[in-house]
């Protein structure tokens, strides 16, 4: 796993709750399909496609941690056998659907995926035994690392002025 993948996976666990909230806000904005559109991110009547709704929710709520497009892409990939078009993934899915019913299904599955990525509730740390009176801990052993310092005099070069 690359560093980028590891970072993304960690961020998903930290932002699952925010992404679920953003996906719910998208559903509310799309109003069961009444404000859903195809062929454009948004229209003058306020209707939006999946990407337009995700952008709108992030912009209006100020929820910078949410990543609803990632979860929508994962939900679409599940429906398409693990493949999402690298060129126009979410957009092409949105524009090729015949009804809002499939869009609602993808949003529902995206919420489930994001909710499943949340960190589990933390458990309390186990209690440590109390210290014993008069107990002396052994000193910490450090490895000696040689350090070389170069003290050779260097020639000074005057800086050129920029006019």
Give pLDDT tens digits for 91-103. 989 998 888 999 9
How sure is the predictor about 139, in pLDDT bands with cuts at 50, 70 and 90?
A: low
Q: Is residue 97 part of a domain?
A: yes
DSSP string across 64-121: -S--HHHHHHHHHHHHTTS---TTTHHHHHHHT-SSHHHHHHHHHHHHHHHHHTSPPP
| The token pair that represents 64 in the structure block | 């910078």
Count the domains in the chain. 1
Q: Is residue 148 part of a domain?
A: no
* Predicted local confidence at residue 102, as pLDDT: 92
Q: What is the pTM of this model?
A: 0.64
Q: 61 by DSSP, 3-state: which?
A: helix
Radius of gyration of the chain (CA): 27
* Predicted local confidence at residue 122, as pLDDT: 46
138 pLDDT above the threshold of 80 = no
Q: Is residue 91 part of a domain?
A: yes
Task: Return the closest-CA partner of residue 38 out of 24, 58, 53.
Answer: 53
* Predicted local confidence at residue 163, as pLDDT: 64
Mean pLDDT in the chain? 79
Burial grade of 64 (CB within 10 A; 0-12, 13-18, 19 or more) = exposed
Average pLDDT over residues 17-39: 92
* Predicted local confidence at residue 80, as pLDDT: 79
| The token pair that represents 15 in the structure block | 């932002």
* Predicted local confidence at residue 16, as pLDDT: 79
Question: Mind listing the pLDDT tens digit for each residue in 61-118?
Answer: 877 777 888 889 888 988 877 766 655 689 989 998 888 999 999 999 999 988 887 5
- The sign of the CA dihedral 118, 105, 50, 83 is positive
Q: 16 by DSSP, 3-state: which?
A: helix
What is the rounded CA–CA span in Å between residue 50 and residue 43? 13
Residue 48's domain spans which residues? 13-116
Q: Is residue 146 part of a domain?
A: no
More confident residue, 17 or 100: 100
* Predicted local confidence at residue 131, as pLDDT: 60
Q: Is residue 139 part of a domain?
A: no
Q: Report the percent of the chain where pLDDT is more than 70.
A: 72
Q: Is residue 141 part of a domain?
A: no
Q: Is residue 78 part of a domain?
A: yes
| The token pair that represents 14 in the structure block | 């930290």
Q: Is residue 108 part of a domain?
A: yes
């Amino acid at each position: 796993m690359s560093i980028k993948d590891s970072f993304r996976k960690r961020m998903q666990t930290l932002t699952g709750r925010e992404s679920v909230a953003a996906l719910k806000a998208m559903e509310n904005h799309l109003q069961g399909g009444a404000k859903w559109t195809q062929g454009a991110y948004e229209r003058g009547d306020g209707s939006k496609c999946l990407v337009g709704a995700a952008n709108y929710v992030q912009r209006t709520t100020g929820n910078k941690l949410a990543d609803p497009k990632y979860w929508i892409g994962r939900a679409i990939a599940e429906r398409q056998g693990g493949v999402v078009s690298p060129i126009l993934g979410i957009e092409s899915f949105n524009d090729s659907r015949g009804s809002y019913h499939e869009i609602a299904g993808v949003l529902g599955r995206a919420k489930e995926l994001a909710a499943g990525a949340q960190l589990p509730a933390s458990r309390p740390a186990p209690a440590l035994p109390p210290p014993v009176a008069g107990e002396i801990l052994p000193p910490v052993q450090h490895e000696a690392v040689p350090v070389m310092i170069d003290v050779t005099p260097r020639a000074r070069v005057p800086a050129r002025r920029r006019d």
